[in-house]
Structure 1
Amino acid sequence: MKKLFIGNLSWEVTSDDLRAFFASFGTVIDAVVIMDRMTGRSRGFGFVEMETEEQANKALEGNGKDLKGRAMNVNMAKPQENR
């Protein structure tokens, strides 16, 4: 699994912020903060896809690290059918 679930994000965190933070662990293929369709505000979580599983495992070290004033929860993303 190369995709990570990133929770407990500050409302101010953008997809670019996620990409920049996780670039220190390897090549970021995609980074997205999930937005509320009605309000346009962040829902406080997002996803980051790394180039390799090895990089994704390394990126788990971001768990508990501060990004814009909040300690992120970083876990491997669960496949949609298993949610």
Structure 2
Amino acid sequence: MSLYVGNLSYEVTQETLNTVFAEYGSVKQVSLPTDRETGRLRGFAFVEMSTDAEENAAIEALDGAEWMGRNLKVNKARPREDRGSFGGNRGNSGSRNRY
């Protein structure tokens, strides 16, 4: 399981996130997703820590905390939803949109 960290500054790096979360335990991995088209950070990250207790300590301390000019949102990450294929049938009785 990992933590979702939202409302991040676009100036954040893996190193700075690692430093902040290391205060609450052992950080196993930091992931900073980027936009596929622009390569720009998307404003959130995932942080994986060694134990649930460490994750809970980080949530308790950092959720709502101000960091780099923003109030962080930190919680347990939810599993990614299966969004299906792009442009699929949206309940139109088999009809397709034509462009």
Q: What TM-score comes out, normalization by structure 2 length?
A: 0.75
Q: Secondary structure at the match of 2:78?
A: coil
Secondary structure of the structure 1 residue equivalent to 2:32: strand
- Give the superposition deviation at 1:17: 1.3
Q: Which whole-Å CA distance do the structure 1 matches of 2:33 and 2:66 have between them? A: 19
Cα distance in structure 2, aligned partners of 1:3 and 1:82: 18
Decide whether aligned partners of structure 1 residues 78 and 45 sit closer, same or farther in structure 2, where only a CA change above 3 A counts: same
1:4-83 alignment to 2 at 5 Å? 4-60=3-59, 61-81=61-81
Q: Is the deviation greater in 44-53 or in 30-39?
A: 30-39
Highest CA radius of gyration, 1 or 2? 2
Contact 1:19–1:31 (Cα < 8 Å) also in 2:
yes
Q: How many residues align?
A: 82
Q: Normalized against structure 1, the TM-score is what? A: 0.89
CA-CA distance at 1:66 after TM superposition: 2.2
Superposition misfits of 4+ residues, deviation over 3 angstroms: none
Cα distance, 1:38 vs structure 2: 1.3
Deviations 1:4-49 (A, max 9, x none): 0000001111111111110000000001211112111110001000
Structure 1, unmatched stretches of 5+, are none
Return the offset for 1:81: 4.8
Which stretches in structure 2 are left out of the alignment for 5+ residues?
84-99
Shift of 1:82: 8.2
Q: Percent identity?
A: 45
